[in-house]
Amino acid sequence: MKVAYYQQDIVWEDTGANLEKVKEAVSRLEPDTDLLILPEMFNSGFTMNPEKVAEQMNGHVVTFLKELASEQGIAVTGSTVILENEKHYNRLLVVSAGGKVEHYDKRHLFSIGGEDKNYVKGKEKLITSVGNMKVLPLICYDLRFPVWSRNQNDYELLIYIANWPASRREVWNTLLKARAIENQCYVIGVNRIGKDATISYAGDSMVLNAKGHVISSAKGEEGIFYADLDLDELTAFREKFPVWKDADKFKLL
């Protein structure tokens, strides 16, 4: 499976400008791409002013993603602010080329930054299929909570989309590697770059294999980057070294 990920310099709270950036970047997308991954809140930045950018599920952002997926013939994922039943969600969307829309609402809200005061946390994970792989997509702060991402032999690719500050980049790099090793899966971390109203972001978007080796990295540049994921190679490694068989069983309350 060929994956593209966009390390984006997000324009603060400006949906129109950000959708134009994505559209322009995707115009140069390499052929045979199966999945495009966008950062957390790719159309606004990590805002604590959800009322400024929130849309409903039939709004402009979701429509844009559906059109993008259809035109390119790929699956697309990224998160945006959704207003539903008078509540705001940091919602990750997975849109198929055929127009199917699935979603995951961020479970672990960053209380240090007031996210829990402005958004409602999600209750369920989403495991979906893209290409020949089962995928678990999560958001930013979720990375710090390994039980939530525990692989029970039910996915091959773990995705984290983020607005992760440069001041904590070592934590980002370390935990992505840990999640890959402990779950014996591919891990893709897609972070923004640039600066929002007050915080700088280093990017450090990357793709790791199940041994924790970096196979693709965006480093500190804006742009679209690529990785080829080999399901046969992953399956062979997991069968040869079946750590997952000895894992503890966790039951989430």
Which are the catalytic amino acids?
Answer: 40, 106, 140
Contact of 193 with 8, CB cutoff 8 Å: yes
Give the integer Cα–Cα distance in Å for 164 and 186. Answer: 20
For residue 232, what is the enclosing H or E element? helix 231-240
Structure tokens of 139? 């958001």
2 strand-pairing partners? 228
**Which residue type, as a one-letter code, is found at position 233?**
E
Q: 133 by DSSP, 3-state: which?
A: strand
Phi, psi of 14 (to 5 degrees): -130, 90
d(CA 223, CA 119): 29
CA separation for the pair 70, 176 (Å, rounded): 31
Q: Please name the residue ranges forming H helices in 54-212.
A: 60-72, 115-118, 169-183
Structure tokens at 168: 């904590």
Is the CA virtual torsion 64, 68, 74, 79 positive or negative? negative
